[in-house]
Amino acid sequence: MRYSLPTMRTLCLALVLLGAMLAASPADAQAQERHTVILDTDIGGDIDDAWALGFAMQSPDIDLVGVTIGDGNTPARAKVACKLLHAGGRDDVPVAVGRKTGDNHDFQFTWAEDFTAKQPITQSAADFIVETVRKRPGVITLVAVGPLENVADALRKEPKLGSMLKRVVLMSGSIGASAWSPAAIPEWNVVAATADAQVVYGAGLPITTVPLDSTTYVALKDDEREQLRKRDSAVTRALEALYRLWIESPSSRMTLHDQLAVAETVRPGLFFGRKETLSIVVDDKGYTRVDAAKGKPTTVCFEPKRDEFMKFYVAGLTR
């Protein structure tokens, strides 16, 4: 059978496309799914929250439907989130403020203290979470990277929240050894609101957590920071400004706790060598203990693949 030249070209193109599809990596396959996300954050304290939001609001893999603010001086934290979203052209993303638990002041707050172009919504963080999840059952992934007041308050309002969420991804806990300690320690996001963490971990939610066991091994290198600084976009300029307000000494380096949780959301398991389902319970001292009798099933991410993750993360911020 003879084929005309246009037909041959069409066949060749089809074969090339088929080959590309067959050669697609697992990451490419995972990228086909877009994740609908609420990000719960205590932005304005440690710098990783802002850098996690900067990534989440730009990622083509994330439909960011809301940002909720928890812990301490939540109105001041909300201003930082609002200004960063505005800088990235994401005024469409609502910011909901959680209950204020303190009057702390952070240097990062000064970056946004006079900002008024975008305002938080009047609805509370817990009410926003509950209403949004009820409207879209089985769709929302709740990513919480701070103390868990807002998630606990949402559960108090709607005990069936877990059955309506697609997934809950936390940066939370310390199970065993980390780069900071030879044994488990009370991790900040747990111990800062221990009673709320007990509610969340005890509710039977579909939780995946990224603990200190993994995150402490992933710190920002100077050349990676320089790549972002040279990108010179509105978002990378904002993140660099916040970084300079956060840094305590020339030797300070950001640990990418929260960013790893966001990456786990969009590429489940890809950046970890091991994931285990463990029965986790939070004790009264803020430890996340493995307890077969009292704990609830929790997927825990171990053995971070640092360089693979950082390549993915930096590419996302410089896209």
User: What pLDDT does 249 receive?
Assistant: 86
Per-residue pLDDT, averaged over 38-65, amounts to 97
- Mean pLDDT of all residues in the chain? 91
Domain 25-317, CATH number (from 3.60.110.10, 3.40.120.10, 3.90.245.10, 3.60.150.10)? 3.90.245.10
> Could you tell me where the DSSP H helices lie in 23-73?
26-30, 48-56
Q: Please tell me whether the overall predicted TM-score, pTM, comes out greater than 0.85 for this model.
A: yes
Annotated domain spans of the chain: 25-317
| Cβ-count burial 206-237 (b if 16+ within 10 Å, e if not) | bbbbbbbbbbbbbebeeebbebbeebebebbe
User: What pLDDT does 21 receive?
Assistant: 43
- Nearest of 210, 183, 179, 217 to residue 280 by alpha carbon: 210
Residue range 78-91, pLDDT digits in tens = 999 999 999 999 99
Residue range 262-282, pLDDT digits in tens = 999 999 999 999 999 999 999
CA distance 153 to 305: 34
User: What pLDDT does 31 receive?
Assistant: 53
CA distance 33 to 21: 16
User: What pLDDT does 184 receive?
Assistant: 97
Per-residue pLDDT, averaged over 125-145, amounts to 98
User: What pLDDT does 22 receive?
Assistant: 40
With a cut of 60, say whether residue 11 has pLDDT above it.
Answer: no
Main-chain phi, psi angles of 165, to 5 degrees = -85, 145
